[in-house]
Structure 1
Amino acid sequence: MGSNPFHPLPLGFVFRSRSKEEKAASTDKVSLTDSTQPRDPQAPKGRPTPKRSESQTQRRSVANTSMTRKDASKRQRDERRVQMDKQRQALAGRGNERDLPARDRGPVRKYARDYVDARFNVAEFFLPLAVVILVLSVVQVPALQNIALLLWLVVIVLILVDSFWNVFRLRKQLAERFPGESTKGAVAYALMRSLQMRRLRLPKPLVKRGERP
């Protein structure tokens, strides 16, 4: 028989040839990618290295963001400083009443302060009297010690009587001047103020003793 020029090639030879071609093509693609765009060591795996212009833009945006945050923080500090200065001026009686702390704002609290500041309160003299009584009790003289004990009792009774009278009068005045409005906490606020010496009260007194609030 004569030789057949169209004799088919073995299957193994065909598959080996295709696999070699695919490997060569993939190797060429990898080499082209590596040569044209090398990966940055700090870039995440599987992602191309950003261009230099993009990196500079990102760094510039980060810098601008940090400066903006810094400016905002400085602005907040300045505003807080201005607000505290306004509050000090208001407490000293030289500023606007709306800059007072929340516990001192409002017409009800202002009237409670004026009511206390316009009269003599026994409780405001407690600290000076306490010093005098303490000195008398230290002296080793029985008569003076007895006087000190008696003074303690008299001062405590006077403070209690005066405080009850203030509570009664102030509640009545608040009900007449502010009908339908909430006066919660105003009486306790006034009592705490009456325990302080006049020159140490904050906000500073705005009425004179004996003056009608």
Structure 2
Amino acid sequence: MFRSRSKENQSPRAAEPTAEEASRTRDPQAPKGRPTPKRSEAEALRKASARPPTDRREAARRAREARRKALEKQREALVTGREEFLPYRDRGPVRRFARDFVDTRWHVAEYFLIYAIIILVLSMVPGQQPFALLLWMGIILAMIVDWIALRFRLKRALNERFPNESHKGAYPYALMRTLQVRRLRLPKPQVKRGEAPR
């Protein structure tokens, strides 16, 4: 008797948006092509998308799906170098510069695995053990000299390029990157050898 007619005439179907409307995305500058949804329709759509899971299995499934999507984006970012999806240790302009600084040069430590295999084979040959030991010590010394030179060059470049930002962790990050073979480095190198770091 005292109810408003608008509530009586309102169909239950109007409160629930169609799946097509929910999934449709459009350019904000383009004309809509449909009437503006009522507040009740918009609220129903918002509540449906933010509805919490009903049971533990559903919650676990949603968490797995979200984790899978995040890992997929992270994997893609490690190849493309997209900053927003990289792991936290690789984010930021200082880390990107350190990566590029390492990737533009040749380093002794890059081929450590190859040196180790050669020295292992030489140490098995009778009479070559002293030579293998000298070679091993020479490679270790060359790596240390290369790392010291890299640290000073990188420190100078970072102070010029990023004087007001913290360089904490950039030097060990760069040294660890020199130990990896260039093809296997993650995030993938974005510059060629000899180019200037970005």
Residue deviations 1:75-96 (CA, integer Å, cap 9, x gap): 2221111111000011122x62
**1:77 matched to which residue of 2?**
64
Uncovered stretches (5+) of structure 1, i.e. residues with no partner:
1-64
| Paired AA for residue 100 in structure 1 | L
CA distance in 2, matches of 1:152, 1:77: 47
- Larger helix proportion of the pair: 1
CA distance in 1, matches of 2:140, 2:147: 11
**1:136 matched to which residue of 2?**
122
**1:202 matched to which residue of 2?**
186
**1:87 matched to which residue of 2?**
74
Matched, 1:126 2:92: no
CA distance in 2, matches of 1:186, 1:156: 22
Uncovered stretches (5+) of structure 2, i.e. residues with no partner:
1-51
Matched, 1:148 2:135: no
Secondary structure in 1 matching 2:54: helix
Residue deviations 1:119-140 (CA, integer Å, cap 9, x gap): 0010111110111011011111
| Paired AA for residue 106 in structure 2 | F
The number of residue pairs the alignment matches comes to 146
CA distance in 2, matches of 1:184, 1:68: 44
Between 1 and 2, higher relative CO (CA 8 Å, sep ≥ 6) is seen in: 2
**2:96 matched to which residue of 1?**
110
| Paired AA for residue 119 in structure 1 | R
CA distance in 1, matches of 2:58, 2:129: 65
Give me the identity figure in percent.
57
Matched, 1:160 2:147: no
Residue deviations 1:106-150 (CA, integer Å, cap 9, x gap): 11100000011110010111110111011011111x2x2222122
Runs of 4+ in 1 over 3 A off after TM superposition: 68-73
TM-score between both structures, scaled by the size of structure 1: 0.65
Contact 2:151 2:171 (8 Å CA) reproduced: yes
Q: 1:74 to 1:157 in 2, by over 3 A?
A: same
**Larger gyration radius, structure 1 or structure 2:** 1
TM-score between both structures, scaled by the size of structure 2: 0.69
Secondary structure in 2 matching 1:120: coil
CA distance in 2, matches of 1:69, 1:130: 51
**1:172 matched to which residue of 2?**
156
